[in-house]
A and B are shown apart, each in its own frame.
Chain A
Amino acid sequence: METILDYIEYLQERYVSILEYSYEHLLISFLAIMFGILLTVPAAILLTRVKNDLFNSTVFNIVNVFQTIPTIALLAIMIPFFGIGLQPAVIALFLYSLLPLLRNTYAGIKSVDPGIIESAKGMGFGQAKQLFTIEIPLALPYIMSGIKTTTVYIISWTTLAAVIGAGGLGDLILGGIGLNDKFMIFTGTFIAIILALSMDLIFGKVEKKLTR
């Protein structure tokens, strides 16, 4: 009982900085994912147009490599190139987001029934018309599900960005560890979970709506 009262007191005192940490956290995640989407969606569509299988598998292998580097290591590697702070963190997380986004978009476009493509072509759809009115709408559930999964784990990995001084909820947790402050550790973890869950919920809703 006493702990709960103490915790409420802690929240009352510190809520401004907690909100700041949360905002930073969302900003880092958002930037990483947004750049990820901006690069991968067009890139994946281009890849579906490439007939050379070797080229495609090379691209996927390269992107896959980023996925295999441990998060903390990738963040550390960023320091010699980009220093510390928000920028290297966003870049590292952006690299992580590439594979799932690319793979889902690619698979989505590829999953469109060849019969549908053939009938669209046969009726006189141009390339662009076919892409925007047929292929992308039909691939959208796949693309959205890629964005959803990626968002959820980028939000959770963003907590590690604090290690290279990017801020975010990781700061709260790391600080808590240093000061042996249970409240700080708990708050950072809890809000990160809430953010991830609510993103999952929101994107899930959007995805459902798009799948009709």
Chain B
Amino acid sequence: MIELKSVNKVYDDGFQALKNINLTFDEGKINVLIGPSGCGKTTTMKLLNRLVDHTDGTILVEGKDIQEMNPIQLRRQMGYVIQSIGLFPHMTIYDNVATVPKLLRWNKSKIDETVHRLLNLVNLEPETFKKRYPSELSGGQQQRIGVIRALAAEPDIILMDEPFSALDPISREQLQDELTHLQAEINKTIVFVTHDMDEAIKIADQIILMKDGEVVQKGSPHELLTEPKNDFVKEFIGTERLQKAETLPLVREMMNQDFVSTYVSESIDEALNKLINHNLTQLPVINNKQYAGFVTIKDLLKGSEETVSNVINTDQKTLKPSDEASQAMRLLKEQELNEVTVLTDQNEIAGVVNYKDISEALQNYYEKQQGVV
């Protein structure tokens, strides 16, 4: 894990590139730094391997202050991939990939094994490619080498500075896919700089949107798309992407909080009155503030019982506020009920969802999609 605490960067000419940055790059996640040019995203990344030193504040890598570490040792513990790839043209692919292991003086057989494994990982046949020179490879192949070179010394952290921006669109898409697949296997903490929102949405676990040296918003791609913090974020993401991300509302948003309920101790007659007055067919039952089950009109009319507690059903499946609309629809259909109860984590009733709520939500959604509103 990498933590930045109140980090500032002021250049010698007085330009303040970064203003009070507080960030956490999560372990084993792809953290994408994004923003318009000059926003400080690359500077932020270069602080981490001390290619740029911060002016004040603290940067902790695995709990250790990087200011107290030898920059050369620090860099050998982090993979580094840049836009211009930066393979060494006078060295073979083998030597390029083996760069950091050689700096770390690994033994030859371990290096051999690593280079083979990594070339296979990106589907480049080791026997064919290891003796070639970078100039004999296509741009996409070169950047694959760039990526595995960064992985060679098994660093926990990999810094990637717009690694795919210079590639043609097809190679770029391929490498993005490969990176996400690779990440599922290797689980590194990746700090990835880009200016391409599509790329960020595609690969990120966490997106950090920056502007003028400050963090404007951070969160999962879903969070940024569904809850953009301000107009700048909306503008940067773009209306088209925001619209595409517009999803059916969650149960939380469409449930009825103003619902009618009954108590275990209530008499059958009173419960029936409630049903009739509100034109309902079933009621949730509360016992000591907790959800206890439900009663239907059929149960109540059955006969001779005195209180609700005698006819209560407890086998109904319930919803959580964070469930999706589709789950609500499924439960309604499966249980052949007119209403499903929504429960909080404390097992209290948060609301109910019925067919009418769902059809209203659907109607809103489609009107928005077509831009009627």
User: Which residues from chain A sit less than 8 Å from chain B, CB to CB?
Assistant: 113-116, 118-126, 129, 134, 137-138, 212
Contacts and interface: CB of A to CB of B under 8 A. Distances in A.
Interface of B: 49, 51, 72-76, 80, 82-90, 99-100, 103, 133, 146, 149-150, 159
A140 to B, nearest CB: 9
B100 A122 contact: no
Nearest to B104: A124
A134 B84 CA distance: 16
Contacts of A123: 75-76, 80, 99-100, 103, 149-150
16 contacts: A113-B84, A113-B86, A115-B83, A116-B88, A118-B82, A118-B84, A118-B86, A119-B80, A119-B146, A122-B159, A123-B103, A123-B149, A124-B72, A124-B100, A137-B90, A212-B90
B90 A121 contact: no
Given A118-B51, A119-B80, A126 B88 contact: no
A105 B149 CA distance: 30
Contacts of A121: 51, 75
Contacts, number: 58
Given A115-B85, A116-B88, A126 B72 contact: yes
* Interface of A: prevailing SS: helix
Contacts of B73: 124
B72 A116 contact: no
Given A115-B84, A121-B51, A123-B99, A138 B89 contact: yes
Contacts of B80: 119, 122-123
Contact of A124 (B76, B82, B83, B87): B76
A113 B159 CA distance: 20
Contacts of A129: 103
Contact of A119 (B74, B76, B86, B90): B86
A18 B323 CA distance: 101
Contacts of B82: 115, 118-119, 122
A211 to B, nearest CB: 10
Given A126-B72, A129-B103, 4 more contacts: A115-B86, A118-B84, A123-B100, A124-B72
A121 B86 CA distance: 11
